[in-house]
């Protein structure tokens, strides 16, 4: 097998540098042009295509030229002088460059596109790997339980189980990392959000249902193995002898193939079979998929807010303050104030009678009063003020609003008391709530607990109500379980959480 000696292939450097989005956009423009049989793209044509793309990429001409020059050095882009209207060699040398995607650059970009397409198929491969783990484990258990196990079969099945399970958990770990990154990142790109949404939907639709069914079968298979622990050791020894004992040298110890395979099988067991209060790998993946589903909407809101608010208010005000400080004259500062805020101080109004000038150093209390004509208070040029309307009496409306507020406060207090009386219970045991206000409060508490960070040991989530009076503790529901809660104003179906609501001052 031919092995390289270091990174000698710069064709893929454009997807790994800090300016990778800009390089990728330029390569996409040249790649699309090559697909449409368009060649010799000028700097202006490439710049226009970048600005009209989705999303638009805005680069200064000198920056764009530097990016194209770097792509030419890497070998992704071919460039030549624009030979149009060049009657002699001197004119040709003064012409600007035109650019085309090189043959090597086109092959490299096709490889990148193929890799991205393969990554999108990862979820489907996850389902295949999951089903394959169950099938291989079934065959391995059958070999373990026979009186005379086939050593070759045991070795091959154990190695295949290790490879398949490693691929399964590796892809799952990458999905968990992507979910954590997208949900916690301060800024998310549109392309990254689309990949995150596609992965989440695929995991939810194609993987989690199979995971639940496979987990049940795997638990049964390991229960059969636990009934005959000596047979497992015997089968692994037979597998080691048939293939030849493989020793893995470590610092001052050696691990046999049988012992190493036993540890790997225990790792598969821990991922599927629950023990004590520690969640399994499948349960953690279930919880992360649920968190990803709940995070799709908030992430989209963050992206929309980022597009609507191009800059922060604090940054705008700091920039404006700097411009005021750099104003050459007081008149320029006043002009800027008027243009930015549209506000004008009262002292700038002119009156028919010019008042005596007052030095700015005089105290405000010592300055003489200023008299203004009625025109400054008139609505128009005509002095027609009319009669002042009678102020309406809203006392009755205020009493109704106060009664409604007292009634809502009483309902909220009764809802708090009703939920605290439930104690620690499953939501399926709640059944019916006395009123819709209690159901709404329960929904808000569950939502706040779901947004809290889960305890890595037991998966417990703790949240507080908006007013800080109630403390809610949420435990993960059994896989596939659901609860139905009814109130006079509606009903709610949700996962069967174990919930504990208490007064915050008592907890």
Angle 87-89-94 from CA coordinates, rounded to 5°: 90
* pLDDT cut 90: percent of the chain above it: 1
pLDDT digits (tens, 9 = 90+) for 179-191: 777 777 777 777 7
More confidently predicted of 368 and 4: 368
257 to each of 76, 233, 235, 254, 261, how far by Cα in Å? Answer: 47, 11, 12, 10, 6
More confidently predicted of 5 and 72: 72
- Domain 10-115: give its CATH architecture: Orthogonal Bundle (1.10)
Question: What is the domain partition of the chain in residue ranges?
Answer: 10-115, 121-306, 406-503
Q: What is the C-alpha separation between 164 and 129, in angstroms, rounded?
A: 6
Instruction: Please answer whether residues 105 and 75 qualify as being in contact, where contact means their C-beta atoms are separated by less than 8 angstroms.
Output: yes
Query: Measured on CA atoms in the order 161, 163, 168, 169, is the torsion positive or negative?
Result: positive
pLDDT digits (tens, 9 = 90+) for 291-344: 777 777 787 777 776 666 555 566 677 788 888 888 888 888 888 887 777 665
For residues 477-498, average pLDDT: 82
243 pLDDT above the threshold of 60? yes
> Would you state the pLDDT for residue 2?
42
- Reported in sequence order, the residue ranges of 66-135 that DSSP labels E, i.e. its strands, are 77-81, 97-101
HEC secondary structure over 131-196: HHHHHHHHHHHHHHHCCCCCHHHHHHHHHHHHHHHHHHHHHHHHHHHHHHHHHHCCCCCHHHHHHH
pTM: 0.39
Confidence class of residue 380 from pLDDT cuts 50, 70 and 90? very low
Confidence class of residue 248 from pLDDT cuts 50, 70 and 90? very low
> Would you state the pLDDT for residue 451?
85
Q: What is the C-alpha separation between 89 and 267, in angstroms, rounded?
A: 72
> Would you state the pLDDT for residue 77?
92
For residues 168-193, average pLDDT: 75
136 pLDDT above the threshold of 70? yes
Q: What is the C-alpha separation between 4 and 22, in angstroms, rounded?
A: 29
349 pLDDT above the threshold of 50? no
100 pLDDT above the threshold of 60? yes
246 pLDDT above the threshold of 60? no
Name the burial class of residue 67, with classes exposed (0-12), middle (13-18) and buried (19+) by CB atoms within 10 angstroms of its CB: buried
pLDDT digits (tens, 9 = 90+) for 52-69: 887 788 888 888 988 899
Q: What is the C-alpha separation between 426 and 474, in angstroms, rounded?
A: 10
Q: What is the mean pLDDT of the chain?
A: 77
Size (the chain), residues: 507
DSSP state of 432: B
197 pLDDT above the threshold of 80? no
pLDDT digits (tens, 9 = 90+) for 7-43: 456 888 888 777 888 888 899 899 888 888 888 888 8
357 pLDDT above the threshold of 70? no
φ, ψ (nearest 5 deg) of residue 288: -70, -35
> Would you state the pLDDT for residue 4?
43
Q: What is the C-alpha separation between 161 and 141, in angstroms, rounded?
A: 12
For residues 99-124, average pLDDT: 74
């Amino acid at each position: 097998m031919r092995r390289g000696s270091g990174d000698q292939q710069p064709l893929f450097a454009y997807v790994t540098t800090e300016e990778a989005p800009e390089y990728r956009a330029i390569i996409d423009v040249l790649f699309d042009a090559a697909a449409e049989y368009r060649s010799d793209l000028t700097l202006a044509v490439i710049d226009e295509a970048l600005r009209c793309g989705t999303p638009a990429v805005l680069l200064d001409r000198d920056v764009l030229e530097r990016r194209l020059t770097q792509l030419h050095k890497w070998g992704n882009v071919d460039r030549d002088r624009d030979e149009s209207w060049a009657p002699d060699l001197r004119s040709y040398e003064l012409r600007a460059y035109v650019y085309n995607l090189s043959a090597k650059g086109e092959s490299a970009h096709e490889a990148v596109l193929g890799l991205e397409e393969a990554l999108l198929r990862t979820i489907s491969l996850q389902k295949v790997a999951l089903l394959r783990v169950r099938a291989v484990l079934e065959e391995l258990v059958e070999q373990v339980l026979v009186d005379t196990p086939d050593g070759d079969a045991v070795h091959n099945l154990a190695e295949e189980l290790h490879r398949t399970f490693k691929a399964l958990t590796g892809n799952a770990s990458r999905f968990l990392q992507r979910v954590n990154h997208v949900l916690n990142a301060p800024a998310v790109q549109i392309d990254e959000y689309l990949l995150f949404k596609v992965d989440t939907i695929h995991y939810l639709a194609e993987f989690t249902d199979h995971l639940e069914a496979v987990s049940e079968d795997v638990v049964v298979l390991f229960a059969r193995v636990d009934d005959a622990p000596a047979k497992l050791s015997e089968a692994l020894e037979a597998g080691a002898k048939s293939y030849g004992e493989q020793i893995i040298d470590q610092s001052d110890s050696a691990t046999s193939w049988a012992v190493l395979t036993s540890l790997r099988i225990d790792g598969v067991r821990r991922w599927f079979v629950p023990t004590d209060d520690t969640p399994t790998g499948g349960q953690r993946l279930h919880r992360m998929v649920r968190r990803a589903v709940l995070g799709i909407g908030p992430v989209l809101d963050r992206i929309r807010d980022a597009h609507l608010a191009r800059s922060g208010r604090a940054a705008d005000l700091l920039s404006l303050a700097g411009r005021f400080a750099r104003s050459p004259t007081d008149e320029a500062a006043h002009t800027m104030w008027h243009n930015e805020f549209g506000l004008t101080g009262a002292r700038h109004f002119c009156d028919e009678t010019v008042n005596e000038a007052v030095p700015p150093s005089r105290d405000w209390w010592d300055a003489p009063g200023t008299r203004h004509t009625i025109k400054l208070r008139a609505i128009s040029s005509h002095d027609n003020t009319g009669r002042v309307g009678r102020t309406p009496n809203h006392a009755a409306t205020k009493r109704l609003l106060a009664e409604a507020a007292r009634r809502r406060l009483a309902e909220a207090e009764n809802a708090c008391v009703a939920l605290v009386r439930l104690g620690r219970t499953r939501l399926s045991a709640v059944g019916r709530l006395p009123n819709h206000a209690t159901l709404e409060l329960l929904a808000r508490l569950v939502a706040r607990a779901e947004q809290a960070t889960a305890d890595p040991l037991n998966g417990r989530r703790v949240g507080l109500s908006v007013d800080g009076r109630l403390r809610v503790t949420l435990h993960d529901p059994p896989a596939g379980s659901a609860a139905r809660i009814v109130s006079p104003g509606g009903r709610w179906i949700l996962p069967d959480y174990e919930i504990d609501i208490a007064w915050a001052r008592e907890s």
